């Protein structure tokens, strides 16, 4: 165990820091044209992705032809630390870069790589993930969107829901049922579906606190024809692909989450320093205790993340990774709850005029996105109990 990285890693950090300073998108261009969904690529985001790709900084751990430089895991870690510190988003299409592109590289044909994965890396295309359905949330394997083989392709019918970024995405990484007679895990395939395919329609779902926000959508498929060449991997092997795809996400996603927890905590503490002196002793002590508990959680998440990373970097397994999703999202939610309660009746206001953004209470409701999406906290606990701890399935 040690507190610091060795010199070669630190020099990697300085190299990237210098590059970042010269090439990063400016605050002005980012605020002038913000990404409004998780598959929206504003002009600056397209240019930024392309610059990172060209200079080997998009996915440092990958080879140069895929926008990397064959960096070691620990180098990728300090790269992410620097991006977070500079408050520059690595991508505005995280599911495209983090899940869809790597899955296509792993399972796709050359044509799929050149038509779908490489354009993501060059900032030319974005992707959404078609997973949840009205009848298939936590029980994803019971999905019923049908893809029927017909001629030289598939005809798709059905509906997806909670599809982040669908209104901006160029294509969908669609999980659909290709064999209705097989056991439910064994009849699923993945198709790459262009969003402008006739028969694909997107209906944005107004968000709990921002009705105008268009990140979540319903996506309807009505006799949409998808070429056979867009089948990813083996027919009916989609469930295995789902597990492998989501695994790309783990490993280092925690870092961004932890750094966001830290900056949220810093904001909470700064506001508390103004508010606490005005409170009567008992309420002051109670609020301070709530805030310190958040601090312990944030620091614990950080140390747990670094510990699990060290295990992975040594080539071992890191069961702690399974804990990070539920714990970080629950800590995030708790921070916002404590933040809204800290303000007393002022916490009812939905807009924080001083900072020009949504107030704690609104962000508290938003934070449930973290504990519900991508496997609810309850599903995470099942996964920990069954896959990590070996408890029998119920």
Partner 1 sequence: MDLELSEEELELRDNVRGVLAAACPPSLVRSVFEGKDTGDALWEQMVGLYWPALALPERVGGLGRTFVDVTIVVEELGRAVAPGPYLATVTQFTPAVSELGSPEQADRFLAPVAAGETTGTLAVAEHGRWEPAAVAAVARPEGSDWVLTGSKSTVLDADTADEVVVVARATDTAGIDGLGAFVVPGDELEAFPRRVIDPTLRICDVVLDDIEVPADRVLAEPGAGGTTQALRRVLDEATVAVAASTIGACRRIFEMTLDYAKEREQFGRPIGSFQAVKHRIADLYSIVERSTALLYFAALTIAEDDPRRREAASLAKAAAGDCQRLVAEDGLQLHGGIGMTWEYDLHLLLKRAKAGEALFGTAASHRAELARSLELVAP
Residues with a catalytic annotation lie at 249
CA pair distance 91, 48, nearest whole angstrom: 8
Shortest distance, position 387 Cβ to partner 1, whole Å: 11
CB-based burial label for 335 (10 Å; 0-12, 13-18, 19+): buried
Which is nearest to 136 in space by CA: 128, 145, 127? Answer: 145
Separation of CA 141 from chain center: 21
CA pair distance 73, 77, nearest whole angstrom: 6
Token pair, residue 252, equals 């280092």
The sign one gets for the Cα dihedral 316, 234, 121, 197 is: negative
Which residue's CB is nearer to partner 1, number 151 or number 394?
A: 394
Shortest distance, position 20 Cβ to partner 1, whole Å: 21
Which residue's CB is nearer to partner 1, number 87 or number 307?
A: 307
Which is nearest to 53 in space by CA: 120, 148, 125, 146? Answer: 120
Token pair, residue 357, equals 């953004």
Dihedral of the CA atoms 205, 209, 214, 219 (nearest 10)? -20
CA pair distance 17, 6, nearest whole angstrom: 17
Which residue's CB is nearer to partner 1, number 314 or number 354?
A: 314
Report the interface residues with partner 1, using CB under 8 A: 1-5, 269, 272-273, 276, 284-285, 288-289, 291-293, 295-296, 299-301, 303-304, 306-307, 310-311, 314, 320, 323, 326-327, 378, 380-382, 384-386, 388-394
Which residue's CB is nearer to partner 1, number 113 or number 385?
A: 385
CB-based burial label for 189 (10 Å; 0-12, 13-18, 19+): buried
Quickly tell me which residue has 């060290």 as its tokens.
310
Shortest distance, position 374 Cβ to partner 1, whole Å: 17
Shortest distance, position 382 Cβ to partner 1, whole Å: 7
Which residue's CB is nearer to partner 1, number 241 or number 258?
A: 258
Shortest distance, position 70 Cβ to partner 1, whole Å: 21
Shortest distance, position 376 Cβ to partner 1, whole Å: 12
């Amino acid at each position: 165990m040690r507190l610091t990285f060795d010199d070669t890693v630190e020099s990697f950090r300085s190299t990237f820091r210098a590059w970042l300073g010269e090439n990063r998108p400016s605050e002005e261009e980012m605020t002038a044209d913000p990404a409004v969904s998780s598959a929206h690529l504003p002009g600056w985001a397209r240019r930024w992705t392309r610059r990172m790709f060209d200079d080997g900084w998009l996915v440092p751990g990958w080879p140069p032809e895929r926008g990397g430089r064959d960096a070691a895991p620990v180098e990728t870690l300090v790269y992410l630390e620097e991006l977070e510190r500079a408050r520059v988003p690595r991508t505005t299409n995280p599911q495209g870069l983090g899940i869809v592109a790597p899955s296509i590289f792993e399972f796709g044909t050359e044509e799929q790589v050149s038509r779908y994965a490489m354009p993501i890396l060059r900032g030319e295309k974005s992707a959404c993930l078609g997973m949840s359905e009205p009848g298939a949330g936590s029980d994803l394997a019971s999905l019923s969107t049908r893809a029927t083989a017909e001629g030289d392709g598939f005809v798709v019918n059905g509906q997806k829901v909670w599809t982040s970024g669908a209104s901006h995405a160029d294509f969908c990484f669609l999980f659909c049922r290709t064999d209705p007679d097989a056991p439910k895990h064994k009849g699923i395939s993945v198709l790459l579906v262009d969003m402008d395919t006739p028969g694909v329609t997107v209906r944005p779902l107004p968000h709990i606190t921002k009705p105008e926000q268009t990140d979540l959508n319903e996506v309807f498929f009505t006799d949409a024809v998808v070429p056979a060449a867009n089948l990813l991997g083996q027919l009916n092997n989609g469930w295995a692909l789902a597990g492998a795809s989501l695994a790309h996400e783990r490993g280092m996603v925690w870092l961004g989450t932890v750094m966001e927890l830290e900056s949220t905590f810093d904001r909470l503490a700064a506001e508390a320093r103004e508010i606490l002196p005005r409170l009567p002793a008992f309420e002051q002590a109670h609020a301070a205790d709530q805030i310190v508990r958040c601090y312990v959680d944030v620091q614990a998440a950080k140390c747990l993340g670094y510990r699990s990373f060290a295990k992975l970097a040594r080539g071992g397994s890191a069961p702690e990774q399974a804990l990070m999703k539920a714990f970080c999202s629950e800590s995030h939610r708790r921070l916002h709850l404590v933040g809204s309660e800290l303000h007393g009746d002022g916490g009812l206001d939905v807009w924080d005029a001083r900072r020009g953004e949504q107030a704690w209470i609104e962000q508290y409701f938003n934070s449930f996105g973290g504990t519900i999406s991508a496997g609810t906290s309850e599903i995470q606990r099942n996964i920990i109990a069954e896959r990590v701890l070996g408890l029998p399935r119920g």
